[in-house]
Structure 1
Amino acid sequence: MWFRFPAILLCFLLVTRLGFAQITEQPDPLRPARPDTAKSAPRDSVEVAGDSLPKAQPAIPTPISQLRYRLTADGTATRGNVNRFLLQLTAALDLSVSKQFKFSSNPSFVYGRQNALINEREWFADFRTTYRHEKQLYYLAFGSLEKSNLRKIQNRQIAAGGVGLKLLNRQKAYLSLTNVLLLERTDFIEGQDFSVLRNSARLFGEYQLGETIRFSHTTFWQPALNQTGNMRWNGTATVQVKMTDALSLRTTLANSYESIVVPGRLRNDLRWTIGLAYERK
């Protein structure tokens, strides 16, 4: 199987992109870890002599503190009539410090250059705290900072808090809905800055198809509560194929919309990428 690895790396360098290359969505989060469900086996209804069966060994408890992470990368390079270079790096970090609290982050960076001009230099960083993360109903608070050379955003700062509900939490299927109040301030390099209060709803799902294929989707709907006509939404769909225990080949379709943009920029962006993911749980 390893003789195919150069071909896989070549696929990693080939990425198809529709529309502009920019951070059009927050990277997919990691699915929350399932709590340890190991329980003592029930006694057989038929009485058995004490020495006829070996005694059950006690279950090894799951560590309270647990770190999980996923690193993804994709990119493209062309030379000729159009000299184009693009690199996109994303990560998903998840640290459970107790049965009550969990910390998460999904940083990303995009760098793109075309005909010696830097088009993309996009930064996104966030930090989230989740309370009662093992329960069906949980609470979350987060803050984020974003910079975008392509969309002429000097700084976008966000603080939010709300609740989440696990609609489905099975071994091979997970679906959750979160709803938060979000305070956003956007400083444009060109154009009028604004601050806005939004309601942000997110639907996130992940499904295991067989032993090697995983499908996930994330959708955000973020209308402004104090400004008419100010609305943002984005959605992603990802198919990931496992090559080894830690390495996967994945492809993602992403679409986003912002109603308020600087002059000369489109409101809608569509993107299709292919890359690699390294994941440890």
Structure 2
Amino acid sequence: MRKTYLVSIFLLTSLLAFAQINESDTVGFQLQLRSGGSYQTGNVELLRVTNQLDVSTRISSDLVFKTQNNYFYQRFFGNKADEDLASSNYLYLQPENILYPYAISFISTNFRRDLDLRTFTGLGLTYQLLQKTAQTVKLSANVLYEQSTYRSQVFNYQEFDGSEHIKAFWSTLYLRGFHPLKEAALKLTYELYWQQSLADRVNYRYHLLAGLDLSVRKGFSIQSRIIYAYENLVTTRVKQKDLLWTWGLAYQFKSK
């Protein structure tokens, strides 16, 4: 019986992952939507809600705006376990080129990591290592100014104790790509980045994502992701690493 509950939880879990919208696509408008969750009561009390909305629109012949927005909420036995918000916003200049610049702004909260608010803005460059109709590989680098506010003033590195605010310039190295498999019905996607504070050597983080997308009909796909996230600087109440395996349904729309 307990195994049945666990299987039900996983089957009803909606996908929480990063967008596959490609800003270098020449179409004028792209949208990807994921929404779902699960609720269970009795021997196991669980509420999980996930939503994601990603939009890319061509402002002019040279400018493309893209926004990626995620919400994740989770509660076990009446106690909140997660409530995360994340919004990433990009402005690209001539993203069809092999090398193109972009501006980024980001805002997020993360209950599980004791993170009350994190914001950053910055500028970067993207180099297209491979750009075809159905596959791409991109390498990006940027410089950011970040402000993070925590709910605790006690960290795993004592030099940060006493203040819940950490502000610094950061650098990022980012690689992402996707490739069709099995006559394009199956797609491999991956993403990894490394972020390093320019002020403090011990303050760094990295993120790894690998996934598969299986097309089931026009616009709809079944998707699975394995996500590993690590932050070296954390409050003493949380762990440095997280591993998440998710799968669910997604819908994507494109318009000229």
TM-score (norm 2): 0.85
Contact 1:29-1:106 within 8 A present in 2 as well: no
- Say whether 1:184 aligns with 2:156: no
* Aligned residue in 1 for 2:157: none
Once the two structures are superposed, residues 15-36 of structure 1 have per-residue CA deviations (whole angstroms, 9 ceiling, x without a partner) of 499xxxxx8xx7234123444x
Task: Map Cα deviations across residues 72-98 of structure 1 (whole Å, 9 max, x no partner).
Answer: 235344434331121221122111122
SS of residue matched to 2:235:
coil
Q: Structure 2 CA distance, aligned partners of 1:101 and 1:117?
A: 44
1:206 and 2:178 are equivalent in the alignment: yes
CA deviation after TM superposition for structure 1 residue 13, in Å: 3.9
Q: Which has the higher strand share?
A: 2
Q: How does 1:88-103 map to 2 (within 5 A)?
A: 88-103=50-65
Question: In structure 2, which of residues 127, 132, 135 is the aligned counterpart of residue 173 of structure 1?
Answer: 135
- In the TM superposition, residue 11 of structure 1 has moved relative to its aligned partner by 9.3
Aligned equivalents of 2:187 and 2:210: distance in 1?
11
2-side partners of 1:134 and 1:256: how far apart?
Answer: 30
Q: Give the gaps of 5 or more residues in structure 1.
A: 1-9, 18-22, 36-62
Greater C-alpha Rg: 1
Deviation at 1:232, TM superposition (A): 0.7
- AA aligned opposite 2:73: Y
Code of the residue aligned with 2:171 in structure 1: it is: N
**1:224-279 deviation line (CA, Å, top 9, x unaligned):** 11102111110111211111101111111000000111122000000000111010
> The residue matched to 1:134 in structure 2 has which SS?
coil
Q: Structure 2 stretches of 5 or more lacking a match? A: 1-7, 154-163
Alignment partners' CA distance in 2, 1:33 and 1:200: 20
1:234 to 188, 203, 207: 207
3-state SS, counterpart of residue 243 of structure 1: strand
Are residues 1:224 and 2:215 paired?
A: no
Corresponding residue for residue 131 of structure 1:
93
TM-score normalised according to structure 1 size = 0.78
Residues 248-257 or 125-134, more deviating: 125-134
Supply the RMSD in Å over aligned alpha carbons.
2.2
Which letter maps to 2:241? N
Instruction: Tell me if structure 2 keeps the 8 A contact 1:110–1:123.
Output: yes
Whether 2:92 is the aligned partner of 1:120: answer: no
Q: Distance in 2 between matches of 1:246 and 1:79?
A: 34
Correspondence for 1:106: 68
* Deviations, residues 165-195 of structure 1 (Å, cap 9, x unaligned): 0000012320001100011110011223211
The sequence identity of aligned pairs, in percent, is 19
Structure 1, 133-142 or 73-82: larger mean CA deviation: 73-82
**Equivalent position amino acid for 1:32 in 2:** E
Counterpart AA for 1:135: N
